[in-house]
Every structure is written in C-alpha cells, then in structure tokens.
Amino acid sequence: MSEQLPRARHLEPTMQRITGRSCIQIEGRVFVVTGAGNGIGRCVALELIARGAVVVGADRDERALAATAALVTDRERFTAHPIDICDRVAVAAFPGSVIASHGQVDGLFNIAGIAQELRAVADLSDARIETLMRVNFFGAVWMSRAFLPHLLQRPRGIIMNTSSLSAIVPVPGSAVYGASKAALALFSYGLAQDLRGRSNVTVTTVLPGSVWTDLVRKVAQQMGAPEKLARGFSAEPEQVARRIVDATAKGRGRVVIGKDAHVYDTVRRVSTRLADRLSYIQVGHGVYPKGTRPR
C-alpha cells in the first residue's frame, strides 16, 4: 500500500503489544453517540456521562435529544446535535462542530439505526430498501470516515459500530435489515484490520440480540407476541449499554450481547442450516401467512 495512515502523536508503547492494551480512560473524554435520543443510544450516552465523560448526542429527532438532555444532571456533560447521518455534507462538517465546542473528540459510538417492517423482500419498496441501507450502513460508514482523522490525533481513540443478531443468522422478514447490519459488521472488522498495529484507534463491533426498546416492542406487536413474553426474551437496554461501554473501553474487537444472540452465535458455528431453521421456526410464523410457509 502506497499511503500510510497518520500516526498518533502519543502512541502507547506498541499499543500494549496489540492484544494486551490497557482500557481507554472514560472520565474527562469526549464521545459522540449517534442515536442518543432513545433506546440503546440514550442508555450508552447516560452510561458514559455517569463515568465522567462528556457526550455529544447526535440524533435527527430534536425532541428525543431534549428528552435525553433532561435526564442529565450536569448539563455541561451533554450537548445535543440534531443531525441526519444520511446527509453526507452535514456528517462531513460534524467533527469540526464538535471540536469547536469541546476542543477534542476521543471516540465515536455508532448506534443510530432503524428497523425493517417484518416483510418479505418482494413486499418492500426500492425507496425503503435504500433508506435501510443508508441509515444502518452508510450513515455509520460516513461517520467513521469523518471522525477517523481526528481520532488518529488523540492519545487513544475508539470507534464502536452496532451490528445485530441479524448479522449472525437471517431473521424472517428482515432480509434487508440483516444485510445492512452484516455489511456494517464486515466494514467494522475490515476497518479494525486497517488500523491494527498501525494506529492508536481501536474498533469494536457489537452484535446485540433482542433488546427491550420501543423498536423491539413494535416488532413484537407486529408478530402478535405477548409483550411479557417478548420482554422476557430481551435484554434491558441499561445492561446492554454497560456491556457496550466496558467492551469498547477494553478495545475488544467483537462482542455478542444477549442470550439469544449467544445461542445463535454458538449454533451457527456448528451448523448454519440448523441456525437458519431455528430462526425460521421462532419468527417465521409471525411473518409469513398461513399456507405460504414450507414444512
């Protein structure tokens, strides 16, 4: 390769020999969190603030960001930045705004995402498919590329990308959502390879299973699943946020969160066919009309 990545000014000695790196300090650092207006994004923002960080909350929903801000006691630790991550021009200008306001940026948590209605691919419009890919994949890619040059100048930098259980096993009615999250996972793994041993920035890919958020609640309602049962299968977002922050601070490359995600991750290593079949049995009845499902 002809081009070399910029080197950080204060690299730790051989990055703690690559695998033995120390945890990044959270207190006093500045982190950007996309999707901070609700769900996992809000919980990650609050978890970082509780650990002494300053959080730049990014979301296209200004009211949701205001609701997150209202939960923060020390308002100096949270600033709201309404932004559409699908807008490449706005994303390109975003790091400059963050640095102008806070003087630095130490990490990026890409959490913003949207769900697919539980429908077969043939029933989705081209516009909906494009939107899913732009929000769930391209938005995180553009954010990562925009902030990476600035993170490379810090003593330590982190990027966390939120993939999904749907990147481990195909979920009925979620083909495009799964494709967007699988693409993000492979991008994230590849970005980690680009940076490994050559920079101060670590990349963490998180693959959560069902997490009890408004998004999952709506999916459960669409499937006709009892809310109590659906919640029992889901992880609480506050617990997921703690796992995300812990794993990212430690520089872990791949993190599976949630009982269902761990089950499918394990089964798929043994038999992809079995994992696919289990997913179909679990979800297919709520997606495909009777008489159209194969036996």
Of 177, 189, 264, 280, the catalytic one is 177
Q: CA 182, CA 164: separation in Å to the nearest integer?
A: 8
Is 177 one of the catalytic residues? yes
Q: Residue 104 and residue 110: Cα distance in Å, rounded?
A: 18
H-state helical runs in 9-125: 14-17, 39-50, 62-69, 88-102
Is residue 127 exposed (0-12), middle (13-18) or buried (19+ Cβ within 10 Å)? exposed
93 alpha-carbon distance from chain centroid: 21
Residues 214-231 as b/e (b if ≥16 CB within 10 A, e otherwise) read eebeebbeebebeeeebb
DSSP state of 200: S
The CA radius of gyration of the chain, in Å to the nearest whole number, is 19
| Angstrom distances, CA of residue 176 to CA of 101, 135, 284 | 37, 12, 16
Which active-site residues does the annotation give? 177
